[in-house]
Amino acid sequence: MSNAISTQPDSYLEFWNEYHLCTLTTLRPNGRPHVVPVGVTVDVDAGVARVITRKSSRKVANILAGGVEAHVALCQVDGGRWATLEGVAEVCTDEAVVEDAVARYGKRYGRTPAPDPERVVILVSVERALGQTLGARPQPAQAAA
């Protein structure tokens, strides 16, 4: 299946499996951007990215206000390496979809969040993938002797 994510080089796909916090940019009803840190999981085969959050969050309100054309961007950066996924977001409350997203989050980030009855999933149908993921990973600073 060809999609915006699956056509990227292996380094791009590997980068989205490394432990990195990301940002999600949504648009407020007045058009101003709202940028928040999030954890993201990417499903290459389905061409979607997932973010778990609370249904009362501002990001969810922004997506719902955007309707069927709620455009968002997900980004992560590590030194000179970066990747952005752009697409249309929807909010999903289906329990099985939420459980699947929580399991994916646990696999990527090494911890499973506590149960939360307010949890929903932001599903992003990725339309565009861009970035630069080749190059050396930054090394931790060495302590002075």
Give the pLDDT confidence of 10-63 residue by residue, as tens digits: 999 999 999 999 999 999 999 999 999 999 999 999 999 999 999 999 999 999
Share of residues in the chain with pLDDT > 90 (%)? 86
Contact 49, 56 (CB under 8 A): no
65 pLDDT more than 60 = yes
The CA dihedral of 46, 47, 51, 54, to the nearest 10 degrees, is -70
Q: Among the residues of the chain, which ranges form H helices?
A: 10-15, 58-66, 95-109
Query: How far, in Å, CA of 84 to CA of 128, rounded?
Result: 8
1 pLDDT more than 50 = no
Mean per-residue pLDDT, 81-91: 97
